[in-house]
Amino acid sequence: MTQGNELQISELKQITGWLETAGIGFIEIGGKGTVVRLTLEGQTPEGKSAVNPQAAPSVRETQVIAVAPGVLLTCHPMRSTPFVEPGAAVRQGDVLGLLRIAQLCLPVVAPCDGVVVKWLVEPGATVGYGTALMTLAPVRHL
């Protein structure tokens, strides 16, 4: 591999090939003030093809994936009402829950419009990066 800050296109192709083979949809490498993030488009962190919400109607469900390790919170720490419950319709970008990392809470957001099917992880469970947290069913437009 190239030493220093220069990276050749052939090296990027090789790295992305390794990621795809390993089923990894995202990697972040950092050091000495530099951070590089590679994301394979159309891939979830587990390497499964992401569902395109603009595509033709499908019975496939979309998994909501943890973007960081943390403790899953389905309601705000200062409230008892969950952000969403099964059966709720959500829009892309809606907050579905939180990942607590020490005192920091990161939002878990809907990657697309859909209907909440179920949480795949119990509230309060510690999850890792790329863990499937919830499933969303496609919205059916009549």
Task: Find the Cα–Cα–Cα–Cα dihedral 111, 114, 118, 124, rounded to 10°.
Answer: 40
Q: What is the CATH number of the domain that holds 103?
A: 2.40.50.100
Asked if the model's pLDDT at residue 53 lies above 50, the reply is no
Residue with the bigger pLDDT between 7 and 66: it is 66
Query: Same domain, yes or no, for 46 and 102?
Result: no
Assess if residue 46 is contained within a domain: yes
Structural domain total, the chain: 2
Query: Same domain, yes or no, for 129 and 71?
Result: yes
Domain boundary among 11, 26, 50: 50
Query: Same domain, yes or no, for 75 and 10?
Result: no
Domain boundary among 29, 50, 71: 50
In this prediction, residue 28 carries a pLDDT of: 64
Query: Same domain, yes or no, for 70 and 122?
Result: yes
Query: Same domain, yes or no, for 68 and 38?
Result: no
In this prediction, residue 41 carries a pLDDT of: 64
Q: How confident is the model at residue 121 (pLDDT cuts 50, 70, 90)?
A: very high
Query: Same domain, yes or no, for 39 and 102?
Result: no
In this prediction, residue 26 carries a pLDDT of: 65
Taking only the tens place, the pLDDT of each residue in 61-114 is 889 999 889 999 999 988 899 999 999 999 999 999 999 998 889 999 999 999
Residue with the bigger pLDDT between 103 and 36: it is 103
Assess if residue 11 is contained within a domain: yes
Cβ neighbours for 101, distance < 8 A, ≥ 6 positions apart = 68, 69, 70, 71
Query: Same domain, yes or no, for 68 and 13?
Result: no
Range of the domain at 105: 62-137
What's the mean pLDDT when you consider all of the chain?
78
Query: Same domain, yes or no, for 76 and 12?
Result: no
Q: What is the CA radius of gyration of the chain?
A: 17
- Read off the pTM: 0.58
